[in-house]
Amino acid sequence: MKSLKPAILVLVFFALAGIHFSWALGSSWGFMAALPTNANGDLLLQPTAIDCAIVGFGLFAFSLFYILQTHWVTNPLSDKANRIIGWTIPSIFLLRAVGDFKYIGIFKPPMDTAFAQADFFFYSPLCLLIALLGFLIIRPID
């Protein structure tokens, strides 16, 4: 049961990495709905294939970190490295879930755009779940 939380994060990060790699290779599935827009629907970001690949590699690295936390393989990281990485990853996703109070996150004003709706119903809750699981892994509640 101890390896369930990191296993969930392995699957989530692996899937997210795959989506980003598919965008890097030219897929358009879900791409526009994943880009933040202003209230007029104007894109705030215009990521390139390289940008998508970099994010994909980062997400893949996160999945590798959580594989180590499952104890399915020997963890070569020091306790200090595990703590630092273990607190950093969920902190990133907590900050993403909170957002910038303008265009992304749970505290953005309501907007009627595809991204805003996806962010409200999927992206921000997923980021909160990732943060919660990550914090519970690094600091379990017994």
Question: How far apart are alpha carbons 36 and 106 in whole angstroms?
Answer: 13
pTM: 0.93
φ and ψ at residue 45, rounded to 5 degrees: -130, 150
Mean pLDDT (the chain) is 95
Write out the two tokens for 66: 């959580």
- Min mean pLDDT across 33-37, 54-58, 110-114 is at 110-114
Closest by alpha carbon to 10, among 60, 82, 58, 78? Answer: 60
Q: What crossing angle do the helices spanning 4-24 and 124-138 adopt, rounded to 10°?
A: 140
Residue matched to tokens 């879930």: 97
Cα of 126 vs its chain's centroid, Å: 7
pLDDT of residue 3: 86
